[in-house]
Amino acid sequence: MSTITTLLEGTIDFRGQVMAETVTQVGIISSAILAFAVGYALQSFEILLLVFGGGVVLTLLAVLPPWPMYNRHPVQWLKTTSSSSVSSSTASQKEISASSSTETKDD
Amino acid sequence: MYNQLQRLNSVVTFALTVAFVLMGVVSFTSLYQPLDASANVKVKGIRLRQGSSFPDYYNENAAKSEYVHLAMDIDADLTKLFHWNTKQVFLMLVAEYETPKMATNQLVLWDTIVQSPEDAQFKLRKYRNKYHFNHFSRKFDTQSANLTFYWDITPHIGLLQRQRQGKIPMKVTLPPLSYK
């Protein structure tokens, strides 16, 4: 089971997630518009379905695997610190979390 | 979007949402297609007979009613009804008549299903009515009936549209009983 989950994991970084989202939206909406245009021009409902289905498959191919372009900005974690400065670092983390929560409230 | 399963989920759900909108647009466009078909019927022969709907050899007093037997020439051209969102057309020939008790009486005499534009043009000669043409009170209280075509356009997606033949219906005068 763990091997399957690791195979399916394929994680990408935060910038990559934004990119994958835009690729999904652009790919599927443009394939829908193309499918409608081609289907209406050729007066065939079957071709409309085929074009839209092909567009969805192409989008899946572009988005699903963890392509290297989605992993160009890996998260840089802070280096581990000594035990004396741990308390100060946790305090600064609390500040950061507090500020971020206020930001979300403003949104 | 973090791992593969989440990406699969988000892509498929978004694709389904867009597909729903796309199907809505398709059904909307097919509502405003120009739909004009021609279907005409000519009655070549007409007979009014009395009998039971199936022969009952053991009961001479079985209920008998009047049946109209028709021989019709049907010319139809339904090719214009086939646009990209038409799955099939159901064509039916309806007899409509008035009686003193009932304002509208409708009977389907003949019907057919057309599934492709290649089969949508046909000329049928001396076709008999497919379904019984009899009044429910067993005797016709009327002297004439109108024959009209109706068609249902079944779309791939969207609303079923029923249309009536635009032209003047064919008028049929019932003859006297020819057989008892």
Quick: pLDDT tens for A10-22.
Answer: 889 999 999 999 9
Regarding whether B76 and B4 lie in a shared domain, the answer is no
**Confidence band for A97, pLDDT divided at 50, 70 and 90:** low
Regarding whether B39 and B26 lie in a shared domain, the answer is no
Regarding whether B146 and B131 lie in a shared domain, the answer is yes
Q: Whole domain around residue B24: which residue ranges?
A: 1-32
CB contact under 8 A, A43 and B84: yes
Give ∠ CA B122-B127-B133 in degrees, rounded to 5: 125
Cβ-based interface (< 8 Å): residues of A facing B = 8-12, 16-18, 20-21, 24-25, 28-29, 32, 35-36, 39-40, 42-45, 48, 52, 56, 59-60, 63-66
Torsion sign across C-alpha atoms A41, A45, A46, A48: positive
Shortest Cα–Cα distance, B111 to chain A (Å): 26
CA-nearest residue to B19 within chain A is A32
Task: Tell me the HSE value of A56 on the side-chain side, using a 13 A CA sphere.
Answer: 20
Tell me the pTM: 0.74
Regarding whether B129 and B71 lie in a shared domain, the answer is yes
Regarding whether B17 and B58 lie in a shared domain, the answer is no
Which tokens go with A10? 């394929």
ipTM over 0.85: no
pLDDT tens for the 180 residues of chain B, in order: 788 889 999 999 999 999 999 999 999 988 877 667 888 888 888 888 888 777 777 877 777 888 888 999 999 999 988 888 999 999 999 999 888 888 889 999 999 999 999 999 999 999 999 998 888 888 888 788 889 999 999 999 999 988 888 666 788 888 877 765
Distance CA B109, CA B93 (A): 6
Domain count along chain B = 2
CB B151 within 8 A of CB B95: no
Looking at the complex, does the CB of residue B85 fall below 8 Å from at least one CB of chain A?
Answer: yes
Write the CB contacts of A69 (distance below 8 Å, at least 6 apart in sequence): A16, A19
Write the CB contacts of B64 (distance below 8 Å, at least 6 apart in sequence): B50, B51, B52, B138
CATH number at residue B59: 2.60.40
Regarding whether B77 and B93 lie in a shared domain, the answer is yes
Shortest Cα–Cα distance, A91 to chain B (Å): 28
